[in-house]
Amino acid sequence: MSARILALVGSLRAGSHNRQLAEAAAKLAPEGAEVVLHEGLADVPFYNEDIDVEGSVPAAAARLREAASAADAFLLFAPEYNGTIPAVLKNAIDWLSRPYGAGAIAGKPVAVVGTAFGQHGGIWAQDDARKAVGVAGGKVIEDIKLAIPGSVTRFAESHPADDAEVAAQLTEVVSRLKGHAGEAVAA
């Protein structure tokens, strides 16, 4: 069984180290796992129930929901902005949580990883993302974690895919998430 894992990156910057991590996860995905980076989070308007009306949902939000519906699992890449989750990632979670109780993320396995400049690698943001996605109905896999500190210096001259330690850790994360996705489909 192949698992389709939707990657959501909480940074919009083209050269973002978290985006590079997501690219590395896609490149290094083990056989039977496909990591697909969702493009277009910058175009999704802030969640507003007034515009979340069947038949007139904003196109970017509808595309996000379609991609999420087609996914077997989610891999969130959470940089840390001012000690917490970036708004773009929280907004994606909000859109995927609706309609209440039946959102596209409901019951699907979710892992949260990331990198940040600080010495803790963004764990506050990652913990906040796990909390938000759990409340939104996702099945947070608490024991899949990867927080890489010192991103600015560690990845200054190389892509995360070229860092042997990071590559091995990302491969393990995707492999374990694939296993959880397979369990969810079989259930």
pTM for the full predicted model: 0.95
Give the per-residue pLDDT at 156.
Answer: 87
Q: Is the pLDDT of residue 187 over 90?
A: no
What is the dotted CATH code of the domain comprising 3-186?
A: 3.40.50.360
First to last CA, the chain: 14
Number of residues that this document lists for the chain:
187
Query: Any idea what DSSP says for residue 45?
Result: P
Q: Is the pLDDT of residue 134 over 80?
A: yes
Taking each helix axis from N to C end, the angle separating 87-96 and 59-69, rounded to the nearest 10 degrees, works out to 70
User: Please, what's the largest Cα pairwise distance for the chain?
Assistant: 47
**Distance (Å) of CA 42 to CA 10, 11, 22, 72:** 10, 9, 16, 23
Q: Is the pLDDT of residue 100 over 70?
A: yes
Per cent of the chain over pLDDT 90 is: 87
**What are 16-52's pLDDT values in tens digits?**
999 999 999 999 999 999 999 999 999 999 999 999 9
Determine contact, residues 82/45, Cβ cutoff 8 Å.
Answer: no
d(CA 17, CA 97) in angstroms, rounded, equals 27
Give the per-residue pLDDT at 182.
Answer: 81
